Amino acid sequence: MRFHSQKLLVALFSLGIFGSCSPVKTPVGVSVSPRLGEVMLDPSSKGTVKMKFQVPVDYLSKRGRLLITPRLVVPDGEVADMYEPVAVDAPVYAKKIYRKKVLEGYVDSLSGQVVRADRWSELMEIPYETRVAVPEGWDDAYIDALVSVEGCASCGIIDTLFVAKLRQSEPVDTFSLQWIRPTLAKRPKVMEGKGIAVLQFTINRSDIDGSLGDNRAELEKMAKTLRPILEDSLASVHSIHIIGMASADGPFGFNTNLAYQRAVAAGRWLQDRMAIAPEMKERILADVRPEGWEPVLEAMRQAGDPDAADVEAILERYPADSNNDDVQEREIRRLSCWERIRTNYLQRDRKVEYRYTYTLKSFTSDEELLRMYATRPDAFSEEEFFRVAELMPSLTEKIEAYRKLLAYYPASEVGKNNLAVLEHEWQMMNSRKGGVK
């Protein structure tokens, strides 16, 4: 249902009807599950966006209301439509709302879903579904969601979440449409991902200090990324590689060893934080690679520094893949602009990259496929989606299965072709009933 902007303005900018601001308490923010990527629209440029908003524990103070408002955004950045928001009420806020309703006859101006946040331990998941309609020609329209705090003029909008790009159905030649029978061969569902934690360390030390910079938030972000995989009953983790980035400034051998020890420390922090089982600890591996001078060169280019050309010439003359790391440093230190480079462009934070690979369980029976399709479509292979579509009894359910397939596998040529065949059949069927709906 569409949510009118006038009501949103009332909800977002009401100045503290309950007396105090309610800022969020941690930078680990709201997220969307599953990661839709794209949502395929039907031939009438309409579609359904279905997801869950994930709100972490203690994201909101006990006196606040968190608002999550999905929007339709068109290619030029203009907001074309706004949908019903979701409100997450913290305990004190919910009690004040209730008292005002009882004592003063207060009517909450917010339409949409209101969830109380007084009973969740790690992550609250809020189901959300809405229909969207996109005018023809808006090929790059997308859905995002504003995250804001009500009653806090200084807080306002605190985050914007990308939800999904909306993809128009491609025009097809209905005279040449032919159903392609999918290959249903089973293949291992090997998945991989990566992330970066930007950490601060005491000079020449490798131990993790949560009080330095944004270390605590960066480490928690790493844990938040890996926790769903480590705790997923359908996932078998092969390895988690934690890679320290060796600084370009200083002796190559010393920096390489220091970066390795920092990667080891980050791995130990992860093991302790998540109480990882002994057999899993063996799969958390430390590694190291040089960061090189490219980040410094890029920072100089971004700043329009005229000496960037001199640094670039040195990197081209002594390429890093020929073990010239110390030579690069020596030559850059000889430049007359070295002091400015060291002051303005050398990174004070160190990057720790983490890469992970895992295999998702393959489903062995039609009954298991249908059961898991309702709850874990994110764990499906392309071939498993094809089989689910075959099992669906009605045309509309088959179409929905193919749309979901393309949300996870947008490059599937068989999926796009067969969806076009099914949608054409749907149009013809409705035409025979007296007009396309």
Q: What is the DSSP string of 251-320?
A: -HHHHHHHHHHHHHHHHHHHHHHHT--HHHHTTEEEEEEE--SHHHHHHHHHTT-TTHHHHHHHHHHS-G
Is there a domain that residue 173 lies in? no
The reply to whether omega before 56 is within 30° of 0 (cis) is: no
Residue 7 confidence (pLDDT) above 70: no
CA distances from 12 to 66, 130, 152, 234 (A): 10, 21, 8, 40
**Are residues 34 and 50 part of one domain?**
yes
- Residue 436 has a pLDDT of 42
- Of 93-97, 131-135, 308-312, 319-323, the least confident: 319-323
**Are residues 241 and 154 part of one domain?**
no
**Are residues 153 and 9 part of one domain?**
yes
- Residue 126 has a pLDDT of 84
Is there a domain that residue 293 lies in? yes
Whether 127 contacts 86, CB under 8 Å: no
List, for residues 139-189, the tens digit of each pLDDT value: 778 889 888 877 443 456 678 888 888 876 665 555 457 888 887 777 788
**Are residues 207 and 103 part of one domain?**
no
- Of 32-46, 286-300, 318-332, 418-432, the least confident: 32-46
CA distances from 101 to 105, 108, 109, 428 (A): 5, 8, 12, 53
Q: 323 pLDDT band (50/70/90 cuts)?
A: low
Residue 200 or 91, more confident: 200
**Are residues 337 and 382 part of one domain?**
no
Residue 308 or 47, more confident: 308
Residue-wise burial string across 404-433, b where 16 or more C-beta atoms lie within 10 A, e elsewhere: bbbbbbeebebbbbbbbbbbeebbeeeeee
Is there a domain that residue 177 lies in? no
**Are residues 343 and 404 part of one domain?**
no
Q: Which domain holds residue 368?
A: 362-432
Is there a domain that residue 415 lies in? yes
Is there a domain that residue 172 lies in? no
- Of 86-90, 183-187, 249-253, the least confident: 183-187
List, for residues 346-381, the tens digit of each pLDDT value: 777 788 999 999 999 988 899 999 999 988 998 999
Residue 430 confidence (pLDDT) above 50: yes
The residue length of the chain stands at: 437
Gap between the Cα atoms of 270 and 268, Å rounded: 5
Kindly calculate the radius of gyration of the chain based on its CA atoms and give it in whole angstroms: 26
DSSP H or E run through 72:
strand 65-73
**Are residues 38 and 141 part of one domain?**
yes
User: Beta-carbon neighbour count of residue 269 at 10 Å?
Assistant: 20
**Are residues 322 and 287 part of one domain?**
yes
Gap between the Cα atoms of 61 and 18, Å rounded: 14
User: Of 358, 374, 405, which one is at a domain's C-terminal end?
Assistant: 358
User: Of 327, 358, 389, which one is at a domain's C-terminal end?
Assistant: 358
CA distances from 336 to 131, 331, 332, 341, 383 (A): 61, 11, 9, 10, 61
- Residue 220 has a pLDDT of 92
Tokens of 16: 């503290």
Residue 307 or 45, more confident: 307
**Are residues 123 and 95 part of one domain?**
yes
**Are residues 336 and 369 part of one domain?**
no
Is there a domain that residue 418 lies in? yes
Express as a percent the part of the chain with pLDDT over 90. Answer: 24
Residue-wise burial string across 174-201, b where 16 or more C-beta atoms lie within 10 A, e elsewhere: eeeeeeeebeeeeeebeeeeeeebbbeb
DSSP H or E run through 248:
none
**Are residues 324 and 251 part of one domain?**
yes
- Residue 8 has a pLDDT of 42
User: Of 358, 376, 394, which one is at a domain's C-terminal end?
Assistant: 358
- Residue 348 has a pLDDT of 72
Is there a domain that residue 41 lies in? yes
Q: What is the pTM of this model?
A: 0.53
- Residue 234 has a pLDDT of 92
Q: Looking up tokens 């290959």, which residue turns up? A: 183
List, for residues 268-302, the tens digit of each pLDDT value: 999 999 888 888 889 999 999 888 888 888 888 88
Domain count, the chain: 3
**Are residues 160 and 209 part of one domain?**
no
CA count, 13 A, side-chain hemisphere, 368: 9
- CATH value at residue 339: 3.30.1330.60
